[in-house]
Amino acid sequence: MTHDAYEISGAARTGRWLITCDHASNRVPDWVAGGDLGLPQTDMERHIAYDVGAAGVSLALAEALDGPAILSRFSRLVIDPNRGPDDPTRLMRLYDGTIIPANAYADAQEKARRVQGLYDPYHAALADLAARPDKVICAIHSFTPQLRGRPPRPWEVGVLYAGDDRLARPLIDACRAQGWVTGDNEPYLGHLPGDSIDRHALADGRPNVLIELRNDLIADAAGQTLWAQRLAPILEQILADTGL
């Protein structure tokens, strides 16, 4: 199923896992700034525009877990679906040292138009998929090996969590047991008020985990498939072990 705001893969699958990918795409809809935010294509291919490799991992992981996946179809630079309504970074004007020309003077009306056309439909569709009481959410993201002017990031995998670490803690242990350099709420903290996990998991007490993969490891299809195949049995095992 494809909508201007999202793509759903495997909607009829019956597994418990729901895979979400908030930053799956660098697409700019043609009704937003004529489809061009004013950045060179090289910037639109960077992590500032989307989570490189995360879409492929999400699709492969959902298939392996026999669950649905929902992926955004708009760049985080258009409007960021992983930010709460009151978060000023929901519409970014500057990201990792890059000014976003089409956002620099975007007014409240333009922001509202993007929210209504993209952000709200994405979250409505995600809520529908998560409505089954036994659903478990796994959010897939990726991170750049190094931000401008910052030290290199050593982690291969990051596991993020907020108040609910029932799946995160055993997942961190399982990843480290594989020999992967695994961040515990690194390279980011796992909670932003109103973010996707907060909205669709924490608010309902739903088991959840957020996985960050370093994007150089999943830059091509082979890497995306590899990491999905690595993660799927671990996720199934920790869910079974926790009895959630």
Q: Determine the pLDDT at residue 28.
A: 98
φ, ψ of residue 17 to 5 degrees: the values are -75, 135
User: What are the C-alpha distances in Å from 205 to residues 78, 132, 161, 163, 164?
Assistant: 30, 13, 13, 10, 8
Counting Cβ atoms within 10 Å, is residue 236 exposed (0-12), middle (13-18) or buried (19+)?
middle
Q: Which single residue is written with the structure tokens 């401008």?
A: 148
How far is C-alpha 186 from the geometric centre of its chain's CA atoms? 15
User: What are the C-alpha distances in Å from 19 to residues 69, 76, 110, 130, 221?
Assistant: 5, 18, 30, 10, 18
Q: Determine the pLDDT at residue 212.
A: 97
122-135 pLDDT tens trace: 999 999 999 999 99
Q: What is the DSSP letter of 158?
A: E
Q: Strands of the chain (E only): list them.
A: 6-9, 17-21, 69-72, 94-95, 98-99, 136-143, 157-160, 182-184, 208-214
pTM here? 0.96
149 φ/ψ sector (left φ>0, alpha ψ -120 to 50, else beta): left
What are the pLDDT tens digits along the chain (244 aa)? Answer: 899 999 999 999 999 999 999 999 999 999 999 999 999 999 999 999 999 999 999 999 999 999 999 999 999 999 999 999 999 999 999 888 889 999 998 999 999 999 999 999 999 999 999 999 999 999 999 999 876 777 889 999 999 999 899 999 999 999 999 999 999 999 987 778 889 999 999 999 999 999 999 999 999 999 999 999 999 999 999 999 999 9
Alpha-carbon gap, residue 4 to 110, rounded angstroms: 17
Partners of 99 in the β-ladder: 94
